[in-house]
Structure 1
Amino acid sequence: MIKLAKPNTGEAELQREYKNTLAVWELGLPVPQPFGVLYVGKRPGLVVERIHGMSPKERLFHELLQQDEGQLRLPTNDIKETARMLSQIHQHTHTALPSQRDYIARNILSVDYLTNEEKQTILSMMDAIPIKQQICHGDPNPNNIIVSNRRHFFIDWNDTTIGNPEADIAEYIVMMRHAILPPETPSKIIHLFNQMREGIIQVFVKEYMLHSNIIWDEIEPWLVIIAARKLHADAILEEEKKLLVKEIRKKLKDPEPQ
């Protein structure tokens, strides 16, 4: 299949995604095989193996539509499998991948939602964390996974780096806790999902810790760092960015873990 670039994405970014995907695919990780970059008309595209299936987000929302509020059930299989597969990815390293710290710092410094003092405070917090050298996906949200024949494949490796796996866990938590669903999402799904957010996070973190030696105290400092990084993303709504800024400033004012 060909993944065509968005209007704001150039060939250089697709070449980076191709190289990142190839690096992790060669390690035998659960990713579609990449084949290269080509042009369709004037648009560059990444040629990758087609994986037929649904994302955990699609599966969850389909499940929510079938549920009654009075008998709300949290489907845990996809949540646990995502945590388990992410822990497997984090067991590897690769010298060809870029630095997580450099990538996050560039993202944070580019945003217009924070003051320079706030940015430097957050970067100082990151500098104080011991550096690790493990493969990190960079955006492990349920839209970037395809479930096919009971296997979970991670896609969209554009943000892949070498660094601290706790940042990936923080990405999942921040997304799950603060994501604003698109306005076209059925109101029933929005209502039920809002009730499930913290339960999903608890299941995910508990399962991940079962398969790694990482503890919560290592994850917690990354929450404000990743929230600041996400302000750089163009795929989230302005309402969500305002919510993230509010949470960041609350955390900077009261840095003690909750």
Structure 2
Amino acid sequence: MNSKLGVKLGEGGCAEVYAWEGESKIIKLAKPNTIIEALQAELHHSYIAWACGLAVPQPFDMQEVEERWGIVFERVYGDSIMKRFVDTTQERSRHKQLLHVSEDYLHARVTAQMLYQIHSHAVPNMPSQRDNIKHDIQRAQYLSEAEKARVIELMDQIPTKQQLCHGDPNPGNIILRENDAIMIDWNNASVGNPEADLAEYILMIQYAILPVNVPQQAQEALEATREESIRMFIEHYGKLSGIRDADIEPWFVVVAARKLAADGISEEEKGLLVQEIRRRLHSTPL
């Protein structure tokens, strides 16, 4: 065992996270489903985000541990928005406190602020958002080839922007640390249209189906607060940026089609996305 490797801190679909060299760093060790080129890309994206002065963990280098490659990052202490949401809803349930839908349980405003800061940067040497999306749509199942071609055609009609985008702005990727919010997991970052990130977040909140091991109180709270969280997110981001609902609208069908290639969402959620895609394609003039 590598003497620098500490206790296991967490695990996702593509990596396991361990303490590294004590308490100030972590290493994100790839699972077999992640190729070394993907790690190299994530490290590159993280360097760029760090150089922009964004609130991200400082990236260091890649290390090999027992024939597995990983990325070493600054260790960030805090809770993800998703963990804070689950803990809050459980605590309220224990004390028999009612949910007030107007409260920002999912920290939608914090997410909007964070994304606006990211989108305020234009950077070179980053992947093309549209190339990434096209690749994901083309390899996704569930849609016919004609449906995929139509979605890509609709995306090609949207004017192109060249702003830094995160690509996966879900509540598990923002860490709350005292009064700060830290964005992690930059493997899907690209240069393109901020509206795609916004559509990604909205669709995630609208259709997310939480894992079965998540407490029932959190499941019920998500159902009760979805629409208000989305409204707060759009309103706050719009105040910062001037972007309106109509600017995000064309991206919903595109991002929904892209999400069908994701490993981390359930078949049930993908079924809901397919319904949303077909509804939008049917209502969009040829």
TM (norm. structure 2) is 0.87
- Following the alignment from structure 2 to structure 1, what is the Cα–Cα distance between the partners of residues 256 and 29? 28
- The Cα shift of 1:255 comes to 3.2
Letter in 2 for 1:13: A
1:33 is matched with 58
2:99 is matched with 72
Any conservation in 2 of the 1:97–1:162 contact (CA below 8 Å)? yes
User: What SS does structure 1 have at the residue aligned with 2:218?
Assistant: helix
Of residues 187, 200, 212, the one that matches 2:216 is: 187
Residues 1:59 and 2:84 are matched in the alignment:
yes
Larger radius of gyration: 2
Residues 1:119 and 2:148 are matched in the alignment:
yes
Return 5+ residue gaps in structure 1 as ranges.
Answer: none
- Following the alignment from structure 1 to structure 2, what is the Cα–Cα distance between the partners of residues 187 and 58? 14
- Following the alignment from structure 1 to structure 2, what is the Cα–Cα distance between the partners of residues 161 and 240? 25
Letter in 2 for 1:73: H
> Structure 1 residue runs of 4+, over 6 Å off?
none
Percent identity between matched residues is: 45
Letter in 2 for 1:107: D
Residues 1:242 and 2:271 are matched in the alignment:
yes
Of residues 9, 25, 38, the one that matches 1:13 is: 38
- The Cα shift of 1:70 comes to 7.3
Letter in 1 for 2:279: K
Letter in 1 for 2:241: S
User: What SS does structure 2 have at the residue aligned with 1:141?
Assistant: coil
Query: Which residues in structure 2 correspond to 1:1-258 (within 5 Å)?
Result: 1-67=26-92, 71-74=98-101, 75-76=103-104, 78-255=107-284
| Cα deviation code 1:108-128 (max 9, x no counterpart) | 000121000000100011000
More helix by share: 1
Q: Which moved more, 1:38-47 or 1:98-107?
A: 38-47
User: What SS does structure 1 have at the residue aligned with 2:172?
Assistant: helix
Any conservation in 2 of the 1:67–1:73 contact (CA below 8 Å)? no
- The Cα shift of 1:7 comes to 2.4
- Following the alignment from structure 2 to structure 1, what is the Cα–Cα distance between the partners of residues 127 and 137? 16
Any conservation in 2 of the 1:144–1:155 contact (CA below 8 Å)? yes
User: What SS does structure 2 have at the residue aligned with 1:153?
Assistant: strand
| Cα deviation code 1:122-180 (max 9, x no counterpart) | 00110000000000000011101111121001000000000000000000001001111
Q: Give the root-mean-square deviation of aligned CA atoms.
A: 1.4
- The Cα shift of 1:62 comes to 1.1
Equivalenced residues, count: 256
Any conservation in 1 of the 2:86–2:215 contact (CA below 8 Å)? no
